[in-house]
Amino acid sequence: MRVTVLTGAGISTESGIPDYRGPNGMWRRDPDHEKLVTYDYYMADPEIRRRSWLMRRDNPAWEAEPNAAHRALAALPDAWIVTQNVDGLHQRAGSPPERVLELHGNMFGALCTACGARSTTREAIDRIDAGESDPACHECGGVVKTATVMFGQSLDPVVLTRAVEAAEECEVFLAVGSSLRVQPAASLVEVAVRAGARLVVVNAEPTPYDHLADEVIHDPIGAAVPRLCSSLT
């Protein structure tokens, strides 16, 4: 059976990485958090950049391990994993990197917004820890950011096109741990349903696409996804 999975931050909360909009999410804890991941604020204000690097430094993703849901999805033969996450846990769980489409990039890489020079988030954090407040590009002095897609930035068109194809091709589309409020990621659900896929939504809270689903599962993802995957193989 051809399966495509869209995952959001909710699949990684049981690995210890907080989501944004869930009951224990970052946005309930820190009303200013959204600015740290919004392109215009980031580019305009060196203090937002410093706080954004510190937020990355303190993110549990550096030590997090994949959980039972990441592992169960990795064991699905030939599934496409389209993820909104930037934590690399699908690949670490064993999903082949060429079957993982990172819609919003990856938090461990960094790049210069002016010249495109690649570096790493670790290097920028080390420079902050060594006393720099706004580590600029070594090549051109431009603003450096994580290789993630911030709010206000466009998705990589190649990755998005492959994700749309994966949504169109599948027989079953699973939406796991996403509030389905971030576009264009959430619209993949509609693409899949329009192309005839069966839709299963796994999320603790309701989503705007639940009415399109053949099944909505509110159970914790770490238990629900392995159960669901064993029914698909």
- Site for ligand NAD, rule CB under 6 A: 8-10, 12-14, 17, 19-22, 25, 84-87, 104, 177-179, 181-182, 203-205, 220-221
| Angstrom distance (rounded) from CA 4 to CA 226 | 15
**Catalytic one of 70, 104, 138, 218:** 104
**Closest distance to ligand NAD from the beta carbon of 59 (Å):** 8
Q: Could you give the maximum distance between any two Cα atoms of the chain, in Å?
A: 55
Residue whose beta carbon is closest to ligand NAD: 10
Answer whether 40's CB lies under 8 Å from 152's CB: yes
Our CB check for ligand NAD shows the closer of 4 and 12 to be: 12
Backbone φ and ψ for 172, nearest 5 degrees, come out as -125, 135
- β-strand pairing of 172-176 with 198-202: parallel
Our CB check for ligand NAD shows the closer of 137 and 149 to be: 149
**Closest distance to ligand NAD from the beta carbon of 223 (Å):** 9
Our CB check for ligand NAD shows the closer of 69 and 137 to be: 69
| Angstrom distance (rounded) from CA 161 to CA 24 | 33
Instruction: Cite the DSSP H helix spans in the chain.
Output: 26-29, 33-36, 39-44, 46-57, 68-74, 89-92, 121-129, 157-169, 187-194, 221-232
Our CB check for ligand NAD shows the closer of 137 and 202 to be: 202
The CA-atom distances, in angstroms, between 195 and each of 35, 151, 160, 165 are 36, 28, 17, 10
Tell me, yes or no, if 104 is annotated catalytic. Answer: yes
Active-site residue set: 104
